[in-house]
């Protein structure tokens, strides 16, 4: 089964399938190794990873596409891309959709914010006219129907924070009517709001979740409860980049404070070198060397050492 088909099946079962946010190919591999079914590329994460900047529309679409390619090639599970506002108008959005499907992406998020956009849990958002966004969705859907009908279009509305739930639901239904497969009300607040949205939206709903301590706006609802409601997808969007931020901050603060400038024996900070090289697939490349390189080259390279590292 193609990755687009795997993702579509999971979402249409409306069992609140978790789609975990990554910020680069390495974090994507770790998410896959931990057994998750699908990955969401985090626009917030890309902005931090590529530029060290906030998610306020600074990342160029070429960089988004380049990073998306790397991530898709790094894993075997479905990957959803984040293309923000689609790179411009409906024509730009259609072209981006072509690129994503050609790259093997399983689905995309596209949103109806005014450009430059910003993360859905930030203040100061503005939304474009609903009909203009519907045209973008329709253009993307026409490309999907021509290239891969299983490809998922997740139409995001940020109208909740500026116009309220009624308008967010209206827009979600409009986008579904124009070919979206999944509707995403970003910044939705409470469990009751989610329950109402699931009942009134004529298609599967996507929601974002992160621990409330992280400053996210949506109430933290257990995934089994969301599945009972009939939510289609649960994105945990900025998990990888925020975990990395905390881990790096804590480690380098400890290293700076260490009297000798080293942390001997403090293995709680890091994985072993062998664990790390296993995670990035070094053994697979050693197996390829054994298969394809002349035996004498391998002997010269490793000098009889059976170990890959160390």
The reported pLDDT for the residue numbered 133 is 97
- C-alpha span between 199 and 195 (Å, rounded): 6
**C-alpha span between 171 and 30 (Å, rounded):** 35
Give the bridge partners for 152, in sequence order: 107
Instruction: Check residue 2 and give left, alpha or beta (phi > 0: left; psi -120 to 50: alpha).
Output: beta
Q: Which residues contact 282 (CB under 8 A, 6 or more apart)?
A: 308, 309
Closest CA to 101 of 145, 36, 137: 145
Q: How many CB atoms sit inside 10 A of residue 264's CB?
A: 7
Task: Tell me the C-alpha distance between 61 and 117, whole Å.
Answer: 13
Q: Which CATH number fits domain 3-244: 3.90.1170.50, 3.20.20.60, 3.20.20.70, 2.130.10.10?
A: 3.20.20.60
The tally of CA atoms less than 13 A away on the side-chain side of residue 110 is 35
CA distances from 41 to 53, 93, 181 (A): 16, 17, 18
The confidence score (pLDDT) of residue 212 equals 47
Ordered per-residue pLDDT tens for the chain, 310 residues: 999 999 999 999 999 999 999 999 999 999 999 999 999 999 999 999 999 999 888 999 999 999 999 999 999 999 999 999 999 999 999 999 999 999 999 999 999 988 766 665 666 678 889 999 999 999 999 999 999 999 999 999 999 988 999 999 999 999 999 999 999 999 899 999 999 999 999 999 999 987 644 556 788 899 999 999 999 999 998 889 999 999 999 999 999 999 999 999 999 999 999 999 999 999 999 999 999 999 999 888 888 777 777 5
Read out DSSP for 262-300?
Answer: --TT-GGGS--HHHHHHHTTHHHHHHHHHHHS-HHHHHH
pTM of the model as a whole:
0.93
Q: Are 78 and 40 in contact (CB under 8 A)?
A: no
CATH 3.20.20.60 residue ranges of the chain are 3-244
Rounded CA gap, 18 and 66, in Å?
Answer: 24
Burial of 159 (0-12, 13-18, 19+ CB in 10 A): buried
């Amino acid at each position: 089964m193609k990755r687009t088909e795997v993702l579509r099946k999971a979402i249409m079962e409306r069992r609140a399938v978790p789609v975990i946010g990554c910020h680069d190919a390495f974090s994507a591999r770790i998410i896959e190794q931990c057994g998750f079914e699908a990955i969401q590329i985090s626009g917030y994460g890309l902005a931090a990873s590529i530029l060290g900047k906030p998610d306020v529309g600074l990342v160029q679409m070429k960089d988004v596409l380049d990073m998306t390619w790397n991530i898709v090639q790094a894993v075997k599970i479905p990957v959803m891309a984040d293309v923000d506002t689609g790179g411009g108008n409906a024509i730009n959005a259609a072209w981006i959709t072509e690129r994503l499907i050609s790259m093997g992406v399983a689905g995309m998020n596209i949103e109806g914010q005014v450009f430059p956009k910003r993360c859905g849990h930030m203040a100061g958002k503005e939304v474009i006219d609903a009909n203009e966004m519907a045209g973008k969705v329709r253009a993307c859907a026409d490309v999907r129907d021509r290239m891969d009908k299983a490809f998922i279009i997740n139409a995001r509305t940020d109208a909740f924070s500026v116009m309220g739930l009624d308008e967010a639901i209206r827009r979600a239904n409009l986008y579904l009517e124009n070919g979206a497969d999944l509707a995403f009300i970003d910044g939705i607040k409470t469990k009751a709001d989610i329950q109402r949205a699931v009942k009134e939206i004529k298609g599967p709903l996507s929601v974002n979740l992160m621990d409330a301590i992280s400053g996210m706006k949506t109430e933290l609802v257990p995934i089994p409860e969301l599945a009972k409601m009939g939510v289609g997808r649960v994105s945990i969007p900025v998990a990888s980049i925020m975990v990395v931020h905390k881990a790096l901050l804590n480690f380098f603060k400890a290293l700076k404070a260490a009297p000798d400038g080293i942390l001997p024996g403090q293995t709680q900070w890091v994985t072993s070198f062998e664990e790390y090289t296993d995670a990035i697939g070094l053994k697979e490349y050693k197996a390829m060397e054994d298969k394809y390189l002349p035996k004498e080259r391998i002997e010269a390279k490793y000098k009889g050492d059976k170990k890959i590292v160390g």
